[in-house]
Amino acid sequence: MVHLVIDGKGFQAEEGQNVLEVALENGIEIPHLCYHEQLSPYGGCRLCLVEITRGARTFLSTSCTYPCLEGLVVRTDTPDVLRARRLVLELLMPLAPEAPRLQALARQMGVTETRFASDEEVDDCIRCGLCIRACAELVGAEAITFSGRGERRKVEPPFGEEALNCIGCGACVFLCPTGCLHMEDQDGVRTLDKWKRTLSLKACASCGRRYLPFAQIEFARQKGEDPPAEGWFEFCPDCR
Amino acid sequence: MSKINSVGELAELRAAILDQRDAGRPCITTCLGTGCHAYDSQEVYNAFAGEIHSRDLADKVDLRGSGCHGFCEQGPIVVLSPGEICYCHVQPEDAAEIITETVLKNEVIERLLYRDPVTGRRFEREGEIPFYKHQDRLILGQNRLLDPKNIEDYLALGGYKALAGALAEMTPEDVLEEVKKANLRGRGGGGFPAGIKWETARRAPEKEKYVIVNADEGDPGAYMDRSLLEGNPHLILEGLLIGAYAIGAAEGYLYARQEYPLAVENFTLAVQQAEEYGLLGSDILGTGFAFSVKIKRGAGAFVSGESSALMAAIEGLVGEPRPKHINTAISGLWGKPSNLNNVETWANVPLIIERGAAWFKRIGNERNSGTKIFSLVGKINNTGLVEVPMGTPLRKIIEDIGGGIPGGKKFKAVQTGGPSGGCIPEQYLDTPVDFDCLEELGAMMGSGGMIVMDEDNCIVDVAKYFMHFLKDESCGKCSSCREGTTRMYEILDAITRGEGREGDLELLEELAWVMKNASLCALGSTAANPVLSTLRYFREEYAAHIQEKRCPAKVCPALIRYSIDPEICDGCGRCRRSCPEKAITGELNTPLVIDGALCSRCGICREVCHLEAIVVE
């Protein structure tokens, strides 16, 4: 156990926990977009900046990547922290101008507009990498990754071709904070347009609804830590 | 070659090598470093080899292909010893004459000597040439004396003596203390004391430790590390070995830029030779010390020079920085204590061990010991690599060594420290160049890039150039850096296109602040420096672009207009023929006219005009 102070209040934390995790657990709100408690911290969106005092040094750092250390003093609401977060949000907004979560954050943080224009073509992706980490760490499929550097950085299947490792589970779609990923089931086929992936769906033995990609069933059988009992996938969740 | 089994055997081998060599025999040294190589110095070398062979002089004259001497402006460079006669711009067809006249008859060939562009005076000996005379070439100076592909050359010069001394007579703690006492600061840019970093790695609890050479020199215009690795690879290897001994590492890495094939080739060869000679391996010089080196080539990302990104790249991951709340000296490569220093830092280590910390501390100034190599490029007469004691004033480097600005133009600024460095104007030219003073001026030492600019350089254009580089080289992980550099570039680009708006400078400063404070690594946190330092010293030049839509240096195409002065133009037609846009019209032998709508402001007409009739406004 280590002791740290956040906004003047003392807290205990497990060693290895990060500052954002402890703040959120204790009801201290810190805006964030690329952090998820089930995934490794990444520190890409830079929204969860806080002011950290460690020994004689005081500086800004992302709270999601900062480990809780004995005696750490954290402030989440100094003028510098708020100013930096607002500017970071202004920089992110043009990437996904319509995204409700960004708009909600902007309202909360008092950002009325961004001074930066959107490109002609906007893909609504803020390069937070949640989809990549979910695919690699939660699912274990590793179907997508970042490609390119700087402003050319984007999330792609290998070589920009069809994501052959994608099992169509939709974890990426579910976690995407801007809603820039789309998954559609139609005529027994699931399509994830951004990953150029189409997958055939298995029909429920009872209601006939085609509900789950064969690839996902196969993946669960082969790679799942605790493969479900034989016949589990014959029925959809509603009929099970 | 049989392995050297003891410190004594190394001394015997050195004596045997020196015994075979005749120190008085004439030697022709041709620089085969990067700059001279580009001037076809290999052809010059081959011509000498051909002459020596055809005249049967092989046992009378030595021929050596060396690494970079530093005087790249005058390449191909050939130095003849004894006498250290330095010939410049040597061509293959000069080889026969040089052998006949200088080597065999001791006659100096006047036309090949260096000629001072201002005084016209010619200099015979290398050491008399002002470019060399004002330097203190402790490290770079060795390049000329050896063939980088021949370990015996290095041994003959006393190579691996420092290693032998360290292994035989010093404990690892002694070595560490010596480096700490010498106050060797990291030459890669940070200026962090190497001894303290070594100590942190040594004291880290994990037993397995690594030492790494950072040869990912990526700053535009910088090539000192390249020249050291290409020209004297054993020196770096010896430094690394000594460091490994002090830190307690059994394995080391060289991380080299993709763009440095010759450096990789020469270092690989050096490692092979050292293994053959028993200077690498399981029982080095019979002392029980074991060390091996692996070489990793980068894939071309500038950011991979950052320590944590570099280690990620060695691990086979994408070269992206990771948080360093626990520094890499404690948890680096594969989570093990890893000591990373750049090429030049390692190169200093054998000198410190051999000659002692007290000697090293006498060079340079109080807080900055030793020398520093700079690559002096841009609008300067003597382009090249320059090594001076730390604390040497900028003016001495630019005027005495660099020979000033070509064409009688006026000095405007010198950009130091690579893309994250800053521009220093005329009024600070007497500043001593060291880690601390440069930082106070809003610039930095960086790895030692020095780009000189004259009155024809537009400062906004310069800032734009660096921001373009940085936005391309940002890894793209942090939004503050990725979007910040991109937006800064857009604003700078708009300013140079005459589309700057009121408030742009304040917005640039705001972005600079957030990039500095919100980004993870040094690339992002220093990326705004080129803009901040130019805003600090040349704000009025930015203002002229924004408010008056005027580029005072007459560089930004959208803000200038080319015309032909009809009073001067004789209608010779040179410009009309050369214009790529066919924008120049008119009858020959009468004054010609430029069509502003077609003109792309490339400036070719101005270059070809023999009467200075082209007017830029």
User: What CATH number has the domain bearing residue A165?
Assistant: 3.30.70
Structure tokens that stand for A236 in this block: 């959809």
At residue B527 the predicted structure's pLDDT band, cuts being 50, 70 and 90, is very high
Mean pLDDT on B574-594: 93
At residue A229 the predicted structure's pLDDT band, cuts being 50, 70 and 90, is confident
Q: Could you give the 3-state DSSP secondary structure of residue B51?
A: helix
Mean pLDDT on A122-144: 96
Tell whether B364 lies on the interface with A, counting CB pairs under 8 A: no
Mean pLDDT on B322-336: 90
CA pair distance B525, B522, nearest whole angstrom? 5
Give me chain A's average pLDDT, please: 94
If asked whether residues A19 and A85 sit together in one domain, one would say: yes
Q: What is the pLDDT of residue A232?
A: 87
Q: What is the pLDDT of residue A15?
A: 86
Q: What is the pLDDT of residue B533?
A: 93
Q: Give chain A's domain count.
A: 2
Tell whether B501 lies on the interface with A, counting CB pairs under 8 A: no
Whether A125 is in a domain gets the answer: no
Contact (CB, 8 A) for B270 and B483: no
Range of the domain at B50: 21-129
If asked whether residues B200 and B300 sit together in one domain, one would say: yes
If asked whether residues B101 and B77 sit together in one domain, one would say: yes
CA pair distance B160, B353, nearest whole angstrom? 11
Mean pLDDT on B269-296: 96
Whether B13 is in a domain gets the answer: no
Q: What is the pLDDT of residue B1?
A: 66
Percent of chain B at pLDDT > 90 equals: 89
Judged against a pLDDT cut of 90, whether residue A223 lies above it is answered with no
Range of the domain at A12: 2-109
Q: Which of A46, A67, A80 sits opposite B478 (nearest CB)?
A: A46
Tell whether B509 lies on the interface with A, counting CB pairs under 8 A: no
At residue B299 the predicted structure's pLDDT band, cuts being 50, 70 and 90, is confident
Judged by phi (left if over 0) then psi (alpha if -120 to 50, else beta), residue B490 lies in: alpha
Q: What is the pTM of this model?
A: 0.92
Q: Which of B361, B390, B413 is a domain's end point? A: B361
Q: Give chain B's domain count.
A: 5
If asked whether residues B501 and B573 sit together in one domain, one would say: no
Whether A155 is in a domain gets the answer: yes
Q: Give per-residue pLDDT as tens, B441-466.
A: 888 888 899 999 999 999 999 999 99
CA pair distance B231, B403, nearest whole angstrom? 25
* Closest-approach residue (CA) in chain B for A48: B518
Size of the A and B interface in Cβ pairs below 8 Å: 93
Q: What is the CATH number of the domain that holds B207?
A: 3.40.50.11540
Whether A229 is in a domain gets the answer: yes
For B139-143, B464-468, B505-509, B597-601, which range has the lowest pLDDT when averaged over its residues?
B597-601
Mean pLDDT on B369-395: 95
Q: Give per-residue pLDDT as tens, A11-39.
A: 999 988 999 999 999 999 999 999 999 99
* Closest-approach residue (CA) in chain A for B471: A150
Q: Which of B303, B480, B485 sits opposite A88 (nearest CB)?
A: B480
Q: What is the pLDDT of residue B190?
A: 83
Whether B439 is in a domain gets the answer: yes
Q: What is the CATH number of the domain that holds B574?
A: 3.30.70.20
Judged by phi (left if over 0) then psi (alpha if -120 to 50, else beta), residue B90 lies in: beta
Q: What is the pLDDT of residue B177?
A: 97
Mean pLDDT on A180-207: 96
Q: What is the pLDDT of residue B2?
A: 76
ipTM: 0.95
At residue B189 the predicted structure's pLDDT band, cuts being 50, 70 and 90, is confident
Q: What is the CATH number of the domain that holds A31?
A: 3.10.20.740
Judged against a pLDDT cut of 80, whether residue A227 lies above it is answered with no
Q: What is the pLDDT of residue A215?
A: 95
Percent of chain B at pLDDT > 70 equals: 100
User: Residue B297's beta-bridge partner residues?
Assistant: B256
Tell whether B4 lies on the interface with A, counting CB pairs under 8 A: no
Classify strands A2-6 and B422-425 as parallel, antiparallel or unpaired: unpaired
If asked whether residues B321 and B256 sit together in one domain, one would say: yes
At residue B528 the predicted structure's pLDDT band, cuts being 50, 70 and 90, is very high
Look-up of token digits 């204790």:
A26
If asked whether residues B591 and B507 sit together in one domain, one would say: no
Mean pLDDT on B540-551: 96
Tell whether A66 lies on the interface with B, counting CB pairs under 8 A: yes
What amino acid is encoded at B338 in this protein?
Answer: S
If asked whether residues A65 and A135 sit together in one domain, one would say: no
Judged against a pLDDT cut of 80, whether residue A226 lies above it is answered with no
Q: Give per-residue pLDDT as tens, A26-84.
A: 999 999 999 999 999 999 999 999 999 998 999 999 999 999 999 999 999 999 999 99
Residue ranges of A 111-130 with Cβ closer than 8 A to chain B: 115-116, 126-127
Contact (CB, 8 A) for A135 and A172: yes
Mean pLDDT on B312-326: 89
Tell whether B515 lies on the interface with A, counting CB pairs under 8 A: no
Q: Give per-residue pLDDT as tens, B87-123.
A: 999 999 999 999 999 999 999 999 999 998 888 899 9
Whether A120 is in a domain gets the answer: no
Judged against a pLDDT cut of 80, whether residue B428 lies above it is answered with yes
Q: Give per-residue pLDDT as tens, B477-494.
A: 999 999 999 999 999 999
If asked whether residues B357 and B369 sit together in one domain, one would say: no
Query: What is the 3-state secondary structure of B164-212?
Result: HHHHHHCCHHHHHHHHHHHCCECCCCCCCEHHHHHHHHHHCCCCCCEEE
Whether A214 is in a domain gets the answer: yes
